[in-house]
Amino acid sequence: MTTHDTSATALDVLGVLDGIVHHTTVHGIPTLFAPRPGEITAGLVFRVGHADETLPTSGITHLVEHLALYRLGLSDLHYNGATASTYTLFHVTGDEDEVVTYLNSVCEALRDLPMDRLETEKEILRTEAGSRGMGALSQMPLWRYGAQGHGLSSYEELGTRTLTPDQVRHWAGTRFTRDNAVLFLTADRVPDGLDLTLPAGRRLPTPAASSALPVTPAYLRGEDGHLVFTSVLRRSTAAAVFAEVLGRALFQDLRQKGGYSYSAEADYSPRDADVATLTAYADALPQKQDAAVGGFVDVFARLRAGRIEQAELNSARGKLLKRYDAPDLGAALLPSYALSLLIGHRILTPEQHRAELEAVGVADLRDVAREAWDGGLLQVPTRGADWAGLTPAPRFSPSGVSGTLHPSLEGEDVTLIIGEAGVTLSTPGGLVTVRYDGCAAMTTRPDGARSLTGLDGFRVDVEPTLFGDVTAERIAVLDKAVPAAAVVPLPARPAEEIPQPRERPAPAPRTPADESKRAEGRRTAGRVTGHFVFVTALATLWPVLLVTLLVNGIHERGIGIAALAGFALEFWLLHAARNLYRTGQPTTPR
């Protein structure tokens, strides 16, 4: 977690940029500006984003952004807003008057959000989410971070269902403050007429990162056609260069040489002041997916071994150095400087950054490659990646809870357990558990359905229609145990959307041939019953007694008749034992 200097002297760190970027404060907001010909581009950035929310309130920052822009209506301005994981940006391009009008309007709305638009904007956000779809990378934050912090970008914005006006006002009043903002403008001076009055507050630290991966490097099975790798690594100039080298190596090996992929690329993006996210992606046709995974692992193995050509390093470094050849360099660097100031990252002059780029060597890239692989999460479209030394990401919980058992009405091998400490779904593969004290959110339906999501990302759906004896009393246990702040009521579902048990297939009609096979199976398998053991014991002991009788009574009259009877009894005992083993009856049924 990064802390910040909230005093006016926080701008002192920008002294190194004198002659490149000018800086001042406007209504208490640190402001950076540098000239560029043409229209002005301005950005007002706040240190708050998705990662600052909880699952029940997710979407609240996005909602404030929408409400703040509503009053601008159908303006001809080129403007927009964006909510990211750790910041929210309001940006505009236009002439001086248009920029002033936009910035003043945003700040006025933040001071007094149009709450009459709240429900409408909630619907708009839900519609936006529905049309956005799920990309190949969408589930990676969930698997790495769980259902909290940086992992929330993988989830539905549940707050758009239940957030109240008071919650939204409080969020805006404590996060969208002058002490939690930075302004930048591509101009040679601060325009007249700006009114950026906002409430006082404090610079918020970036949220601490959680982890849902007990071991890395790890892998998970994803969609066919997509290979995704993410890692978290220390922010450094060498790490940025490595991302360029990795992207070029993947493109060369997977597309140009192997022909396995059309797209093969890598990206480096800051997560907070100290850590960045490395992302690599490649696509592949189904018949080439195994080869693409193998090629990807081979590329990383080569880079981890330090087998990097100097030409690869020079090419990647040259691309990053080109940004300093841009005209109006100060204006081009404003967004990155503003974000660095906002989150507390070190600020380098172009000369300092150039020097760091020139100092990066092959050994530095090898070290970054090893760090990236060791902390990596690989999403493969194939069976697995154990062969590459990766561990499967956990698909099941380490333990369950004790409580009442509720068998699935769809299969005998699945059981729901509702306990005093949490809920567990027992499946043939393993246990999925959400404990009440680690419940990120529980959605509720009027029909009794409950869906519990743990902070670790595991989810258990409690559908009374799909499990036996899930009564109102058992649902009340959940409602009492889960903290009220984690409960998200959802509207009633149409009857046709309430899940019903799937009908089990009826047994196929049996033919005489099937019965013959069943009988043969019984004869082959045999039955060891109590009667079988008793008769077998008699059949074993009787010959001993019979021999003793014959030896002792060999000279007695009538011993021959008794011997014949004894042998007949032994024959019957053996026959009975065989039939008991085969059919369960002492004689063969007709």
Instruction: Name the pLDDT band for 35 (thresholds 50, 70, 90).
Output: very high
**Cβ neighbours around 241 below 10 Å, total:** 24
User: Omega of the bond prior to 217 within 30 degrees of 0, cis?
Assistant: yes
The token pair that represents 118 in the structure block? 């709240």
What is the per-residue pLDDT across 493-534, written as a single tens digit (0 to 9) for each? 999 999 999 876 555 544 333 333 333 333 333 344 555 556
Instruction: Name the pLDDT band for 55 (thresholds 50, 70, 90).
Output: very high
Q: Is the pLDDT of residue 272 over 70?
A: yes
**Under 8 Å between Cβ of 380 and 280:** no
d(CA 211, CA 100): 43
Q: Is the pLDDT of residue 338 over 50?
A: yes
d(CA 300, CA 372): 9
Residue from 89, 42, 79, 327 nearest 186 by CA:
42
Q: Is the pLDDT of residue 7 over 80?
A: no
Q: Beta strand pairing status for 415-419 and 422-426?
A: antiparallel
Give pLDDT, residue 171.
98
Taking residues 27-56, report their average pLDDT.
97
Q: Is the pLDDT of residue 548 over 90?
A: no
What is the per-residue pLDDT across 419-471, written as a single tens digit (0 to 9) for each? 999 999 999 999 999 999 999 999 999 999 999 999 999 999 999 999 999 99
Strand (E) positions, 3-132? 22-26, 29-33, 40-46, 78-83, 88-94
d(CA 455, CA 527): 51
Q: Is the pLDDT of residue 92 over 60?
A: yes
Taking residues 215-237, report their average pLDDT.
96
**430-461: buried (b, 16+ CB within 10 Å) or exposed (e) per residue?**
ebbbbbbebbbbbbbbeebbbbbbbbbbbbbb
Higher pLDDT, 582 or 286: 286
Q: Is the pLDDT of residue 156 over 90?
A: yes
d(CA 183, CA 46): 9
- Which DSSP state fits 56? T
Mean per-residue pLDDT of the chain: 88
Give pLDDT, residue 72.
86
* Percent of the chain clearing pLDDT 90 (strictly above): 77
**Residue 148: strand, helix, or coil:** coil
Q: Is the pLDDT of residue 556 over 80?
A: no
Residues 6+ apart with CB under 8 A from 361: 313
Give pLDDT, residue 563.
60
State which amino acid sits at residue 443: T
Give pLDDT, residue 1.
36
Strand (E) positions, 368-467? 377-380, 391-392, 403-407, 415-419, 422-426, 431-435, 439-444, 450-454, 459-462
Residue from 16, 51, 21 nearest 35 by CA:
21
Instruction: Name the pLDDT band for 578 (thresholds 50, 70, 90).
Output: low
Instruction: Name the pLDDT band for 14 (thresholds 50, 70, 90).
Output: confident
Torsion sign over Cα 11, 12, 15, 17: negative
The pTM of this model reads 0.82
**Cβ neighbours around 319 below 10 Å, total:** 13
Q: H-helix or E-strand containing 183?
A: strand 181-185
d(CA 299, CA 249): 7
